[in-house]
Structure 1
Amino acid sequence: MKILHVAPYFKPSWEAGGPPRSVYDLASRQVAAGHDVTVYTTDGFKRRLSVATDVPVDVDGIKTYYFRNLSLYLAGNMNLPLPLKLPLTARREIDNFDIVHIHEHRTFLAVAVSMLAANRNVPYIVQPHGSVPTMSRGTLKRLFDLIAGNRVMYGASRIIATSDIESKFYLQVYPKLKPESIIKIPNPVDIPEKPLKGTFREKWGLEDRKIILYLGRIHERKGLQMLLRAFREINEGSVLVITGPDDHYEGRLLKLIRELGVEERVILTGPIYGKEKFEVYNAADVFVLPSSSEYESFGNAAAEAIACGTPAVVTSRCGISEWMDEHDGIITEPSVEGLRKGIRNVLEKRNLFDPSAKKFDPEFISSVFESVYRQVADHKYAVISDKWH
């Protein structure tokens, strides 16, 4: 197939978050499967990339256009990339593609390409990557939707969600969407190599301790206050490791740690990336995602822990809960007592849990997307639920 991905940022703009990595991983596997893959993107997020702009560049077999942003300030500070030369190329090439995959729909790129695709009867799908809810930057999002975002979403052949939780927000924000047009596919987890089990324990002197792990942003909505109160009642042989970047909450978290009297049993490592991150997952006895937010569309960290063979305790607010079975861990209500019982259960019965990475395997998920692409190109509704069994 001839596939076009449209994404505001792409390799190596990793500082823009998870979507650039997801697009690159998916496109790479599609190239390996023999597809002809093109990416339309921009020349950087908070920094301009050292790449040729507005012309095709080979990126690991992916034909990539890094269109020059009109303003790096608008791209990096307001998430408003404006690649003004993109429409000219898209108008010239759009008829060449069997399918267009738009990542993050509230962008100039998405609007330009979706309009051209609709005019030329080229089908496209949209994957918002968690950006649909209007709880943050709500006024700007609603204004964008009024001008163009509604047209992008309502014109799509399919909308990709990672969970039913995310799907419900799609229907709240875009009530004219047909529920059958929403396809649920989990985020993939790519573990580059088998992580070492003892490295993290040795570094922090935790060889004989039970490790309870949280990895993610240190933010008020993540439920860390509940996790700390639950952890206080867990036996003295355990340690809580909190790993991730501070998102304006670490000061209050440290104060709570002191108030609860658990300073000697809690370790804040700061952010950890790459191979070392997977070593942390592998070292843990249990991973906890205690989110109390009304919108945790998926929970990549929990999927990564499960893929590394570490059982997870997650709240029912997390979309990842819809993909878990009894071998992967425990799903609990977002409460101190629920988390406490879940963590104790996993620590006491660790041998009963055997997490599986299969449902998050990137090769498998790439094949699911191919199935969706082909059915969309053939003007059929994509029915893929059987692929998960």
Structure 2
Amino acid sequence: MRKMKIAMFGQKRIPSREGGVEIVVEELCTRMVEHGHEVTCYNRRGHHVSGSEYDAKILNEYKGIKLKTVPTIEKKGLAAVSSSFFAAICCALGKYDVVHIHAEGPAFFAWIPKMFGKKVVVTIHGLDWQREKWKSGFGAKFIHQGEKNAVKYADEIIVLSRGVQDYFLKTYGRKTKVIPNGVSSHVKRNAKIISDKYGLNKDDYILFLGRLVPEKGIRYLIEAFKKVETDKKLVIAGGNSDTCEFEKKMKELAKGDKRIIFTGFVQGEELEELYSNAYVYTLPSDLEGMPLSLLEAMSYGNCCLVSDIPECKDVVEDEALIFRKSDINDFYIKLQAACSHPEKVIEMKKMSEDFICRKYNWNDVVEETMEQYRR
């Protein structure tokens, strides 16, 4: 197989766990390098989305991936636009066989490398204009146009779900390729860091892990959990991603229930311990692209409780507990049942890891992605 020169942009930066896009880009790139391809990632400059205390040192290389940091206007709403513009210019002028753009916003600039004769692939990680913070204003218009530019200029479009594939076909008459995210098996860790920091032990907490944004259904989770009769705690782990006001509201809503713990952004061993020792992992989202946190939770052998949106149901099939989206009462009933019937939770834990690791494999994802490049 011919070795290729590949450029990627649209992620904030790698190595980083600032969001699902960053995880996907890192997983793809490290494996492509292992296969002998030359990969360059264009990272944005600036602070970590959850605060400067999580900033990492700027690197020129990581696991064989070439890293280049582009100029970035560090103002809300302009960081992604400015960094994507400069990354697109660099990709257009560089010697690359393929330019791979991630997400709808950065795809606005797909025309720049295309104008310079580059082959362009765009991965749509979700319909970003549906998210609360992009429903109006300049950001909404920019993302909508990014979607249209992907349709117009990309040689291939990759989507993560059948629902988004149907959307592009019905809206634009554009065929796309479904390539879902992958997951790896993980070594489980004993509760040490989380025991010292939060008083958490094996199987004594329900875990939510993700960005603290409205579409993740955190409000439903808090309101439902407050009604549950249990000694188990609720751990809400994640940063606010430019939505400090929403995080404050959620903490206010949780006030008075000492069982609810907000950890803030977590990474490394602390993150691994949270996944490894949860009683139940829950994802009550109204909106998802393809939820990597759900794949990861199942790969740690967790029983999962998720909303019935297609993006979650397609992942878990019959191997998880499901409640009606946005229905706090149904959510409460399912949470109470899980706390009251540990035998059901134990049964689902036994099957989740093997099921998810067989169904979603990063090596398969990379091979299918490379096939799109070769096309």
Verify same fold: TM over 0.5.
yes
For the residues of structure 2 that align with 1:26 and 1:151, how far apart are their CA atoms? Answer: 24
For the residues of structure 2 that align with 1:360 and 1:324, how far apart are their CA atoms? Answer: 12
Q: Tell me which residue corresponds to 2:51.
A: none
| Offset, 1:330 | 1.2
Three-state SS of the structure 1 residue aligned to 2:112 is helix
Three-state SS of the structure 1 residue aligned to 2:129 is coil
* AA of the residue aligned to 2:4: K
Q: Tell me which residue corresponds to 1:234.
A: 228
When normalised by structure 2's length, the TM-score is 0.77
Runs of at least 5 residues in structure 1 that lack an aligned partner in the other structure: 379-389
Q: Tell me which residue corresponds to 2:100.
A: 101
Residues 184 and 337 of structure 1: CA distance in aligned 2, closer, same or farther (over 3 Å) = farther
Q: What do the CA deviations read for 1:34-90 (whole angstroms, capped 9, x no partner)?
A: 2312225155244999769xxxx55432244x2642x53369844222565864763
- Alignment of 1:29 with 2:20, yes or no, is no
Residues 366 and 5 of structure 1: CA distance in aligned 2, closer, same or farther (over 3 Å) = farther
- Alignment of 1:111 with 2:114, yes or no, is no
| Offset, 1:7 | 0.5
For the residues of structure 1 that align with 2:371 and 2:315, how far apart are their CA atoms? Answer: 24
Point out the more displaced range, 368-377 or 39-48: 39-48
Residues 76 and 324 of structure 1: CA distance in aligned 2, closer, same or farther (over 3 Å) = same
Q: Tell me which residue corresponds to 1:382.
A: none
Which of these residues, 333, 350, 363, is aligned with residue 324 of structure 2? 333
| Offset, 1:365 | 2.4
Q: What do the CA deviations read for 1:80-120 (whole angstroms, capped 9, x no partner)?
A: 225658647634624xx2x44222343375332233346xx
Q: Tell me which residue corresponds to 1:283.
A: 277
| Offset, 1:194 | 3.3
Three-state SS of the structure 1 residue aligned to 2:95 is helix
Q: What do the CA deviations read for 1:166-222 (whole angstroms, capped 9, x no partner)?
A: 4455457xx2142x4241413x34577432246534653444873222222333433
| Residues 46 and 76 in structure 1, CA contact (< 8 A), matched pair in contact too | no
Which of these residues, 246, 251, 254, is aligned with residue 249 of structure 1? 246
Point out the more displaced range, 363-372 or 240-249: 363-372
Please report the RMSD computed on the Cα atoms of aligned residues, expressed in angstroms. Answer: 3.7
For the residues of structure 2 that align with 1:59 and 1:310, how far apart are their CA atoms? Answer: 31
Q: Tell me which residue corresponds to 2:298.
A: 306
Residues 374 and 145 of structure 1: CA distance in aligned 2, closer, same or farther (over 3 Å) = same
| Offset, 1:133 | 2.1
Tell me how many residue pairs correspond in the alignment.
354
Pairing 1:147-296 to 2, within 5 Å after superposition: 150-167=148-165, 170=168, 175-178=171-174, 180-186=175-181, 188-189=182-183, 193-197=187-191, 200-201=194-195, 203-207=197-201, 210-246=204-240, 247=243, 248-258=245-255, 263-291=257-285, 293=286, 295-296=287-288
- Alignment of 1:352 with 2:347, yes or no, is yes
For the residues of structure 1 that align with 2:73 and 2:252, how far apart are their CA atoms? Answer: 38
Q: What do the CA deviations read for 1:244-281 (whole angstroms, capped 9, x no partner)?
A: 234323433344334xx6x2322233332222112112
Percent of paired sites with the same residue: 20
